[in-house]
Chain A
Protein backbone atom coordinates (compact mmCIF):
# COMPACT_ATOMS: atom_id res chain seq x y z
CA UNK A 1 0.00 0.00 0.00
CA UNK A 2 1.16 3.50 -0.74
CA UNK A 3 1.90 5.59 2.29
CA UNK A 4 1.38 9.32 2.62
CA UNK A 5 2.72 11.04 -0.47
CA UNK A 6 4.16 14.54 -0.44
CA UNK A 7 5.49 16.74 -3.20
CA UNK A 8 7.83 18.30 -3.90
CA UNK A 9 10.45 16.59 -1.74
CA UNK A 10 12.72 19.63 -1.92
CA UNK A 11 11.89 23.23 -2.67
CA UNK A 12 14.28 26.16 -2.89
CA UNK A 13 12.74 29.55 -3.46
CA UNK A 14 13.44 33.20 -2.96
CA UNK A 15 11.91 35.41 -0.32
CA UNK A 16 8.58 36.79 -1.41
CA UNK A 17 7.68 33.91 -3.68
CA UNK A 18 4.61 31.73 -3.25
CA UNK A 19 5.20 28.15 -2.19
CA UNK A 20 2.68 25.33 -2.45
CA UNK A 21 3.22 22.01 -0.74
CA UNK A 22 1.08 19.01 -1.62
CA UNK A 23 -0.07 15.92 0.24
CA UNK A 24 -2.00 12.77 -0.58
CA UNK A 25 -3.07 10.93 2.58
CA UNK A 26 -3.46 7.18 2.94
CA UNK A 27 -6.72 6.05 1.36
CA UNK A 28 -9.47 5.68 3.92
CA UNK A 29 -7.85 7.92 6.50
CA UNK A 30 -10.22 10.61 7.71
CA UNK A 31 -7.67 12.82 9.46
CA UNK A 32 -4.89 14.82 7.87
CA UNK A 33 -2.26 16.79 9.76
CA UNK A 34 0.32 19.34 8.61
CA UNK A 35 3.46 19.69 10.75
CA UNK A 36 6.58 21.81 10.55
CA UNK A 37 9.94 20.67 11.94
CA UNK A 38 12.92 22.88 12.72
CA UNK A 39 15.98 22.36 14.86
CA UNK A 40 14.94 25.13 17.21
CA UNK A 41 11.26 24.29 17.71
CA UNK A 42 11.05 20.60 16.91
CA UNK A 43 7.87 19.19 15.39
CA UNK A 44 4.90 21.56 15.53
CA UNK A 45 1.35 20.93 14.43
CA UNK A 46 0.15 23.63 12.04
CA UNK A 47 -3.38 22.52 11.14
CA UNK A 48 -5.46 19.39 10.86
CA UNK A 49 -8.51 18.31 8.88
CA UNK A 50 -11.28 15.82 9.50
CA UNK A 51 -13.24 14.66 6.47
CA UNK A 52 -11.75 17.53 4.46
CA UNK A 53 -12.87 20.16 7.00
CA UNK A 54 -10.27 22.21 8.90
CA UNK A 55 -10.73 21.53 12.60
CA UNK A 56 -7.91 23.35 14.32
CA UNK A 57 -5.59 25.86 12.66
CA UNK A 58 -4.30 27.42 15.86
CA UNK A 59 -0.78 26.33 14.98
CA UNK A 60 -0.67 28.23 11.70
CA UNK A 61 1.98 30.88 12.34
CA UNK A 62 0.37 33.78 10.53
CA UNK A 63 -1.84 34.85 7.67
CA UNK A 64 0.85 34.07 5.15
CA UNK A 65 0.06 30.40 5.69
CA UNK A 66 -3.09 28.75 4.35
CA UNK A 67 -4.19 25.16 3.92
CA UNK A 68 -6.95 23.50 1.95
CA UNK A 69 -8.31 20.03 1.48
CA UNK A 70 -10.62 20.05 -1.56
CA UNK A 71 -11.20 16.30 -1.40
CA UNK A 72 -10.32 13.23 0.65
CA UNK A 73 -7.19 12.47 -1.34
CA UNK A 74 -5.49 15.84 -1.61
CA UNK A 75 -4.38 18.72 0.57
CA UNK A 76 -2.20 21.78 0.04
CA UNK A 77 -0.25 24.06 2.33
CA UNK A 78 0.51 27.43 0.81
CA UNK A 79 2.91 30.12 1.99
CA UNK A 80 2.53 33.52 0.39
CA UNK A 81 4.79 35.44 0.56
CA UNK A 82 7.53 33.15 1.80
CA UNK A 83 10.25 34.35 4.20
CA UNK A 84 13.63 32.88 5.16
CA UNK A 85 12.29 31.94 8.61
CA UNK A 86 9.82 29.61 6.91
CA UNK A 87 12.72 27.32 6.00
CA UNK A 88 11.94 23.96 7.59
CA UNK A 89 10.79 20.44 6.82
CA UNK A 90 7.04 20.25 6.37
CA UNK A 91 5.40 16.91 7.07
CA UNK A 92 1.94 15.73 6.26
CA UNK A 93 0.47 12.88 8.30
CA UNK A 94 -2.80 10.99 8.24
CA UNK A 95 -4.71 8.74 10.59
CA UNK A 96 -7.83 6.64 10.45
CA UNK A 97 -9.67 8.10 13.44
CA UNK A 98 -9.41 11.01 15.82
CA UNK A 99 -8.57 8.76 18.71
CA UNK A 100 -5.32 9.78 20.29
CA UNK A 101 -4.41 6.12 20.41
CA UNK A 102 -4.51 5.85 16.63
CA UNK A 103 -1.20 5.91 14.82
CA UNK A 104 -0.36 8.88 12.67
CA UNK A 105 1.49 7.96 9.49
CA UNK A 106 3.87 10.57 8.19
CA UNK A 107 4.84 11.37 4.64
CA UNK A 108 8.52 11.79 3.67
CA UNK A 109 8.32 15.56 4.10
CA UNK A 110 9.10 18.58 1.97
CA UNK A 111 12.39 20.29 2.75
CA UNK A 112 11.81 24.00 2.12
CA UNK A 113 14.60 26.53 1.83
CA UNK A 114 13.71 30.19 1.43
CA UNK A 115 16.65 32.33 0.41
Chain B
Protein backbone atom coordinates (compact mmCIF):
# COMPACT_ATOMS: atom_id res chain seq x y z
CA UNK B 1 0.00 0.00 0.00
CA UNK B 2 1.31 3.45 -0.87
CA UNK B 3 1.95 5.78 2.04
CA UNK B 4 -0.13 8.53 0.44
CA UNK B 5 -2.73 7.65 -2.17
CA UNK B 6 -4.56 9.93 -4.54
CA UNK B 7 -6.76 9.48 -7.57
CA UNK B 8 -4.51 10.66 -10.42
CA UNK B 9 -7.45 11.92 -12.49
CA UNK B 10 -7.48 13.88 -14.69
CA UNK B 11 -10.48 15.80 -13.47
CA UNK B 12 -11.90 17.81 -16.34
CA UNK B 13 -14.34 20.47 -15.16
CA UNK B 14 -15.88 23.63 -16.64
CA UNK B 15 -15.09 27.05 -15.27
CA UNK B 16 -17.16 27.86 -12.22
CA UNK B 17 -17.55 24.25 -11.16
CA UNK B 18 -16.84 22.91 -7.70
CA UNK B 19 -14.37 20.04 -7.58
CA UNK B 20 -13.12 17.91 -4.70
CA UNK B 21 -9.97 15.83 -4.37
CA UNK B 22 -9.38 13.15 -1.81
CA UNK B 23 -6.31 11.56 -0.36
CA UNK B 24 -5.63 8.77 2.13
CA UNK B 25 -2.50 8.21 4.17
CA UNK B 26 -1.27 5.02 5.77
CA UNK B 27 0.56 6.10 8.94
CA UNK B 28 -1.82 7.14 11.68
CA UNK B 29 1.08 8.82 13.52
CA UNK B 30 1.45 11.54 10.89
CA UNK B 31 0.75 14.95 12.36
CA UNK B 32 1.19 17.47 9.57
CA UNK B 33 -0.72 17.63 6.33
CA UNK B 34 -0.50 19.83 3.29
CA UNK B 35 -1.70 20.40 -0.21
CA UNK B 36 0.95 21.45 -2.72
CA UNK B 37 0.24 22.66 -6.22
CA UNK B 38 2.46 21.83 -9.20
CA UNK B 39 1.99 23.52 -12.55
CA UNK B 40 3.11 21.75 -15.70
CA UNK B 41 6.93 21.57 -15.86
CA UNK B 42 7.27 23.65 -12.70
CA UNK B 43 8.21 22.97 -9.11
CA UNK B 44 5.72 22.09 -6.34
CA UNK B 45 4.56 25.03 -4.24
CA UNK B 46 2.67 25.00 -0.96
CA UNK B 47 -1.03 25.68 -1.52
CA UNK B 48 -2.20 25.31 2.07
CA UNK B 49 -1.68 23.42 5.27
CA UNK B 50 -4.50 21.21 6.54
CA UNK B 51 -5.63 21.58 10.12
CA UNK B 52 -7.73 19.22 12.20
CA UNK B 53 -10.62 21.67 12.39
CA UNK B 54 -10.59 22.23 8.65
CA UNK B 55 -9.48 25.47 7.07
CA UNK B 56 -10.40 27.73 4.23
CA UNK B 57 -8.38 30.05 2.02
CA UNK B 58 -10.57 31.91 -0.41
CA UNK B 59 -12.08 29.40 -2.81
CA UNK B 60 -10.08 26.54 -1.32
CA UNK B 61 -11.19 24.42 1.65
CA UNK B 62 -9.11 21.65 3.18
CA UNK B 63 -10.39 19.06 5.63
CA UNK B 64 -8.81 16.30 7.65
CA UNK B 65 -10.41 13.18 9.06
CA UNK B 66 -7.87 11.53 11.36
CA UNK B 67 -10.08 8.56 12.18
CA UNK B 68 -10.33 7.63 8.52
CA UNK B 69 -6.83 8.93 7.66
CA UNK B 70 -8.37 10.98 4.91
CA UNK B 71 -7.65 14.48 3.59
CA UNK B 72 -9.72 16.48 1.14
CA UNK B 73 -9.40 19.63 -0.92
CA UNK B 74 -12.44 21.47 -2.25
CA UNK B 75 -12.14 24.13 -4.93
CA UNK B 76 -15.17 26.33 -5.50
CA UNK B 77 -15.86 28.48 -8.55
CA UNK B 78 -12.91 26.96 -10.38
CA UNK B 79 -10.83 29.17 -12.69
CA UNK B 80 -8.78 28.32 -15.75
CA UNK B 81 -5.70 29.20 -13.68
CA UNK B 82 -6.53 26.42 -11.22
CA UNK B 83 -5.44 23.86 -13.83
CA UNK B 84 -2.51 22.06 -12.24
CA UNK B 85 -1.56 18.91 -10.36
CA UNK B 86 -2.46 18.90 -6.68
CA UNK B 87 -0.17 16.92 -4.40
CA UNK B 88 -1.33 15.57 -1.06
CA UNK B 89 1.56 15.65 1.43
CA UNK B 90 1.98 14.25 4.94
CA UNK B 91 4.92 14.23 7.28
CA UNK B 92 6.92 11.09 7.93
CA UNK B 93 6.44 10.59 11.66
CA UNK B 94 9.38 8.25 12.13
CA UNK B 95 12.47 9.82 13.69
CA UNK B 96 10.88 13.23 14.30
CA UNK B 97 12.38 14.73 11.16
CA UNK B 98 11.16 17.23 8.63
CA UNK B 99 10.65 14.59 5.97
CA UNK B 100 7.55 14.86 3.85
CA UNK B 101 5.82 12.13 1.88
CA UNK B 102 4.19 13.20 -1.36
CA UNK B 103 1.27 11.58 -3.11
CA UNK B 104 1.41 11.04 -6.86
CA UNK B 105 -0.87 13.99 -7.43
CA UNK B 106 -4.31 14.64 -8.91
CA UNK B 107 -4.46 16.50 -12.20
CA UNK B 108 -7.13 19.15 -12.69
CA UNK B 109 -8.02 20.65 -16.04
CA UNK B 110 -10.47 23.54 -15.97
CA UNK B 111 -12.08 24.16 -19.35
CA UNK B 112 -13.64 27.41 -20.59
Contact = CB atoms under 8 A, between A and B. Distances in A.
Contact of A102 (B45, B98, B102): B98
B31 A100 contact: yes
Contacts of A34: none
B5 to A, nearest CB: 11
Contacts of A45: 99-101
Given A101-B32, A101-B49, A106 B98 contact: no
B97 A106 contact: no
Please tell me the size bucket of the interface on B.
20 to 34
Contacts of A55: 97
Contacts of B104: 42
Contacts of B54: none
B43 A48 contact: no
Contacts of B105: 42
B84 to A, nearest CB: 14
Contacts of B31: 100
Contact of A48 (B32, B91, B99): B99
A98 interface: yes
Given A42-B104, A101-B49, A56 B44 contact: no
Determine which residue in A31, A55, A101, A109 has the highest number of CB atoms from chain B within 10 A of its CB, and name it.
A101
A55 B99 CA distance: 11
Contacts of B100: 45, 100, 104
Contact of B43 (A31, A100, A102, A108): A108
Interface string B33-56: 000000000111110010000000
Interface of B: 31-32, 42-46, 49, 87, 91-92, 95-105
